[in-house]
Amino acid sequence: MKKFGLIALPLLACALAACSVSVGSDPKIEETALEKSVKQTLTEKVGQEPDSIDCPGDLEGTVGTTMRCTLSAGGEQIGLTVTVTTVEDDTVNYNVEVDQS
């Protein structure tokens, strides 16, 4: 998995395409659903699955809200930022931006 950090991270330095999670009537994404969604998004964009994504709590569904999370892959930990871009009915859309190493 070391390859993830060496090859994929330069590709992830810019914001990834918007992601979305349906959240029901309460406009927030629960921590476990957010971590799963971010992990899936990174896997789809890079073609390799990170070991884990760790976020500190639920993401409030308010446009402009940001959250710092940690990506773990191949023994490395890299920060990433999740930013809510839109909220449409019961869906929170967001971008993921991985820190430059």
Q: Which of 25, 42, 24 is nearest to 80 (CA)?
A: 42
Global pTM value: 0.78
* CA distance linking residue 7 with residue 30, whole number of Å: 30
Residue ranges of E strands in the chain: 19-22, 28-29, 52-54, 59-60, 66-73, 76-88, 91-98
pLDDT band at 21 (very low <50, low <70, confident <90, very high): low
Mention every residue, 6+ apart, whose C-beta is less than 8 A from residue 83. Answer: 15, 64, 65, 66, 94, 95, 97
Dump pLDDT digits (tens) for 48-63: 899 999 999 999 989 9
| Distance in angstroms (rounded) separating the CA atoms of residues 47 and 4 | 9
